[in-house]
Amino acid sequence: MSAAETLLEVEDLRVHFPVLRGIVFHRPVGTIKAVDGVGFRLARGKTLGLVGESGCGKSTTGLAVLRMLTPSGGAIRFEGRDITQADADTLRPLRRRMQMVYQDPYGSLNPRMTVADIVGEPLAVHDIGTPAERRAATAELIALVGLKPDMADRYPHEFSGGQRQRIGIARALALRPSLIVCDEPVSALDVSIQAQIVNLFEDLQTRLGLSYLFIAHDLAVVRHISERVAVMYLGRIVETADRRDLYKAPLHPYTQALLAAVPIPSPALEAQRAHPVVAGEVPSPMNPPRGCHFHPRCPHAKPVCSETAPALRDLGQGRAVACHLHGD
Amino acid sequence: MAEPLLSVRGLSTSFRGEGGVVRAVDDVSFDVAAGETVAIVGESGSGKSVTALSVLRLIPEPPGRIEAKAVRFAGRDLGALDASGIQALRGNDIAMIFQEPMSSLNPALTVGMQVAEPLNRHRGMPWPEALAEATALLRKVQIADPDRRLASYPHQFSGGMRQRVMIAMALACRPKLIIADEPTTALDVTVQAQILELLKTLTRESGTALILITHDLGVVARYADRVCVMYAGRLVETGPARTIYETPRHPYTVGLMASIPRLDEEIGRRLVPIEGQPPDLSALPPGCAFRPRCPRAVARCERERPALEPIGPDHHKACWNDVRG
């Protein structure tokens, strides 16, 4: 891990949104700490899975990394440069190197544009090559993601969800990025199509040396595709580890609860498995619990857990956990 | 053998639209025994929801059209019932739980009113008594402080709590059968586990049969006794859950099992997708609808539609090729 070159480094990232009230005079009445002190490293050519339930801040983290949001604090270093507060002019050339694939293959493609226009648009926007060169590059991209050449002149509505996701991936690849933030890229797809797209992501990574920040709630998909996994809960990372360690021996009670909640597609295994259920639901990020955010739902909570927030402690061998049970 | 609680024979539901007639459900037959959990599995457009809605005749006609050779429930012929007869059954002997609890609850009525309504309507229970019973039902689905929550409105509840309210409504008249259509798809995974465990406990306790409609093969493995796999409006394989998972015989079922990543498998396995695209119901090929994506198709698949035939104890498949494993 340490030998591999770091492509993206995030340190103590914070994204806070003010909560405003009032119709004429907006006055701040609170703060939503959507991302509150998140840090991780992503090596070149590797995949980091970011998992958690709705409202945990995983998508906001992805948007901040791409600087589609300005962080409230912390640092984002991409290809060795600090881009945390970089302005639009500085970011423009960098944007070619960092792209995004969205969840909804229906909402993220312009219905009035042909596939060739959608895939070629980033090249036109960044004024790369002559029109003829752009056409050739577009045709190459369309083939790269497994679509047929005659599909180039058709419109998004003529395609199924899986094919549309291929179009979105081709568009993300147009500028030869090194980082792709994938925000729930297969969760809107049918089961039989998910595997096609997961395999495409893997093939493209091998061929092009891409790094993925893979944001998803499906723990089995994340285990399959990510070498490293970070688990988020209410704006914070609670545990991060190599996938083998995380899935074999989760340390944080929340990670344990998440994994226990995922059913395994085997009636024989499920019949033997205990089904402990963690109580409650994710609280509102506007008013998170004091101390460890998970303590009201945690079966192992101690008095200290409601007092102070545990720091993410490095346990060595690439493991870190934020839990008082794993203190010294 | 005792008569099953629900017996559906030759159910077909079609919709008339601009592009012609689409057969969403095509000649589907299945049974549900008293107290058992049957999962109907399939991808979007497979007809799994329309099958369940058609049993309760919740498909607007027109544009829909429901035909069936026979639909029998608890010894009664549902086909012979008129609109008011089937209405007397819904929410009473057969209850339904939908995917979207927010859009299936009335935003303008208190939760208590909605849970009490089936009792008042079907059982003629006076409102004060029905509301008292609703409190008990809310307690049963583990809603804290049910007396106070009775006066709350659905928007004051979280997604998981709303689904608990839906379950309380469904249980109100002690139905013999509950149809749950993707009941946890909109929920987070820890809440999904809570809701499904609750549903399992309560249906086991009362001996209520459950039809669980889902696309999640993990959920099916955890909760179903028997499984019906649908593709393009047809049943392609049915059987006991263990049989379907351990020895799937239809190439579509085999393909589904190979295409999903699992928490218990070796890391580094390459997923084996089902090639091709989901079927277009308005332009289905003649013969078997799965043939264009099937790695095991034989010449006959192109011409003739395979019927659901027995291949083992309580195990059926609709396929011309004798697939094993």
- What does the pLDDT look like over A241-292, one tens digit per residue? 999 999 999 999 999 999 999 999 999 999 998 888 888 888 888 889 999 9
Q: Which residues pair with B316 in a beta bridge?
A: B238, B310
The predicted pLDDT at position B54 comes to 94
Question: What's the gap in Å between the CA of A219 and the closest CA on chain B?
Answer: 8
Partner A contacted by B190 (CB < 8 A):
yes
Nearest to A244 among B242, B263, B267 (CB): B267
Is the predicted pLDDT of residue B161 greater than 80, yes or no? Answer: yes
Instruction: Find the angle CA(B297)-CA(B301)-CA(B307) to the nearest 5 degrees.
Output: 120
- Dihedral sign for Cα B244, B2, B306, B235, please: negative
Nearest to A192 among B193, B222, B259 (CB): B259
- Dihedral sign for Cα B41, B42, B44, B45, please: negative
Q: What's the mean pLDDT in B278-299?
A: 90
Contacts of B215 in chain A (CB under 8 A): 190-191
Mutate to test the interface with B, among A234, A262, A293 (most CBs of B within 10 A): A262
Question: What's the gap in Å between the CA of B221 and the closest CA on chain A?
Answer: 4
The predicted pLDDT at position A285 comes to 83
Residue A68 contacts by C-beta under 8 Å, 6 or more apart in sequence? none
* Six-digit token string for B275: 């090639």
CA–chain centroid gap for B56, Å, is 12
The predicted pLDDT at position B324 comes to 56
Question: What's the gap in Å between the CA of B263 and the closest CA on chain A?
Answer: 5
State chain B's mean pLDDT as an integer: 91
Structure confidence at residue B20 as a pLDDT band (50, 70, 90): confident
Nearest to B217 among A265, A268, A278 (CB): A265
Helices B111-123 + B159-171 axis angle, to 10: 10
**Structure-model confidence comparison of residues A3 and A143, the more confident one:** A143
Partner A contacted by B273 (CB < 8 A):
yes
State chain A's mean pLDDT as an integer: 92
Residue B223 contacts by C-beta under 8 Å, 6 or more apart in sequence? B37, B39, B196, B199, B200, B212
Contacts of B194 in chain A (CB under 8 A): 277-279
- Number of A:B CB contacts under 8 A? 137
Mutate to test the interface with B, among A54, A191, A222 (most CBs of B within 10 A): A191
Q: What's the mean pLDDT in B272-280?
A: 90
How far from each other are the two terminal CA atoms of chain B, in whole angstroms?
30
Amino acid at B43: E
Is the predicted pLDDT of residue A3 greater than 70, yes or no? Answer: no
Q: What's the mean pLDDT in A140-146?
A: 94
C-alpha gyration radius of chain B: 21
* Cα(B179)–Cα(A293) distance, integer angstroms: 36
* B164-to-B116, B132, B181 alpha-carbon distances in Å: 14, 17, 14
* Six-digit token string for B171: 């249980």
Is the predicted pLDDT of residue A60 greater than 80, yes or no? Answer: yes
The predicted pLDDT at position A2 comes to 47
* Cα(B9)–Cα(B26) distance, integer angstroms: 11
Contacts of B188 in chain A (CB under 8 A): 53-54, 217, 281-282
Partner A contacted by B186 (CB < 8 A):
no
Question: What's the gap in Å between the CA of B268 and the closest CA on chain A?
Answer: 7
Residue in this structure with the two tokens 């604090």, named with its chain if needed: A73
- Dihedral sign for Cα A272, A195, A318, A301, please: negative
Helices B189-206 + B159-171 axis angle, to 10: 10
Q: Per CB distance under 8 Å, which residues of A are interface residues toward B?
A: 53-54, 160, 162-163, 190-196, 198-199, 202, 217, 219-221, 223-224, 243-244, 247, 257-270, 275, 277-279, 281-282
CA dihedral B98, B100, B104, B110 (to 10 degrees): 120
* Cα(B212)–Cα(A313) distance, integer angstroms: 43
* Cα(A20)–Cα(B232) distance, integer angstroms: 49
In A114-272, at which residue ranges do the beta strands (DSSP E only) sit?
A: 179-183, 211-216, 228-233, 236-242
Share of chain A above pLDDT 70, in %: 98
Structure confidence at residue B46 as a pLDDT band (50, 70, 90): very high
What b/e sequence results for A249-263 when a residue is b if at least 16 CB atoms lie within 10 Å of its CB, and e otherwise?
A: ebbbbbbbbbbbbbb
How far from each other are the two terminal CA atoms of chain A, in whole angstroms?
25
Is the predicted pLDDT of residue A328 greater than 60, yes or no? Answer: no
Per the rule left: phi > 0, alpha: psi between -120 and 50, beta: everything else, A12 is left
DSSP state of B107: T
pLDDT in tens, A286-324: 889 999 999 999 999 999 999 999 999 999 889 999 999
Question: What's the gap in Å between the CA of A323 and the closest CA on chain B?
Answer: 19
* Cα(B220)–Cα(B184) distance, integer angstroms: 12
Amino acid at B155: H
